[in-house]
Amino acid sequence: MHAVRSRLASCQAACWRQQQNQRCQRLFVTAASEAGSEAESQTRPRGPTETDASYNIPSPQSPAAPRKARLFSGVQPTGVMHLGNYLGAIKSWVKLQELYDTFYCIVDMHAITLQHEPKELLEATRRTAALYLACGVNPEVSSIFVQSHVPAHAELAWLLSCVTPIGWLRRMTQFKEKSARASDASEVGTGLLTYPVLMAADILLYQSELVPVGHDQKAHIELARDIAERTNRLYGNRQWKKLGGKGGKLFRIPDVFLPPVNARVMSLQDGTSKMSKSAESDMSRINLLDDPKLVKSKIQKAKSDGQVGLEFDNPDRPEANNLLGIYQTMSGISKDAAQSECKDLQWGEFKFRLAEAISEHLRPIQDRYKIIMDDRTVLDQVLQNGADVAAETAARTLFNEQAQRDAEGSGI
């Protein structure tokens, strides 16, 4: 009887998982389709736009190969994602997922390098995952998961830290800046120093060939390349090849994909500083979940200058360049069209149009987000499925890495 009950429970669980997967497919395939349709409908009447062309999405290295080239990227779940995250990362992810074998991660382990509230971090992690999906990342073609749900990230980070010279880490600009801002040296944890090693583990764990990052993260990708090359040199040896391994190459060396310059969104309060989650004033950024009234208020109070008309690329008018760039991307028009439309506008009229364009662009994202958050069991299933795929892929990398170390240590 016990065996029968056990089998019945297993069947019920399998049935439940199948139902959840079907619900995930219906909900998120529809969401991704709607996201694609909206982008297409915005740009098709105008023909190819400079915004789209400037992304210059790289083609996979081996289009004829049975395995798609692999891509990894992630965002920290601190705060709420803003326009800078969307235009600098998520928007390109939606395009890249059709070309690459994509792994999109919510990097919650990176978020704990600084002081945090555990409950808020957990909720922010769920919000970030929901926004990935609402923006059009499709779990049917991309693996979407939480970093801490795949223990191999921490395991590989430790192994890599043992071959990474500490001098490499001390030279990292972000460590210098963040540690300098700490009021007390005792608040600076070791995790802040070793953050780039964990980032290297994130990337190398999936044998990633391409990593989309912001311009401020380029140095970390270069460090990941250096760590991969050093590990390959130390452990990818002839002895391993004798045991049946490939020899000479434990990790693929990743390339970096930087977003176009016009995708770099600056602060609403300072056109020379990047829009950031960590900025003290919420008025410095447009969050993806801001309602139209709040968007209007933030844009009206955004820093401007005393000149009539908006223009691009004038170094003396950083705020005009930033806000006009946001208007261009939110409206789905070319740079020339945005310049022509706004060259004679007063700031008041321009800000009204900008607020309208932002709210209209964010509306479908916010609608999908609400649907996703209303049924969290579906979101949990998406993250579980993504973690399962990620863990299986990561396990192969860890097995090879450890086997090569064993071969080196055995002196075969």
Catalytic residues: 178, 274, 277
What is the helix (H) or strand (E) element at residue 51, kind and residue range?
A: helix 50-55
User: Of 21, 80, 94, 77, which is closest to residue 389 (Cα–Cα)?
Assistant: 21
* Phi, psi (degrees; rounded to nearest 5) at 205: -60, -30
C-alpha dist (Å) from residue 180 to 87, 177, 280, 328, 391: 29, 5, 17, 37, 36
Quick check: 93 and 263 in contact, CB under 8 A?
no
Q: Cα 7 to chain center, whole Å?
A: 41
Q: What are residue 143's DSSP bridge partners?
A: 103
Alpha carbon distance 101, 97 (integer Å): 7
- Alpha helices by DSSP H, 142-260: 152-161, 166-170, 173-181, 190-204, 218-235, 238-242
What is the helix (H) or strand (E) element at residue 70, kind and residue range?
A: strand 70-75
Structure tokens belonging to residue 16:
């439940």
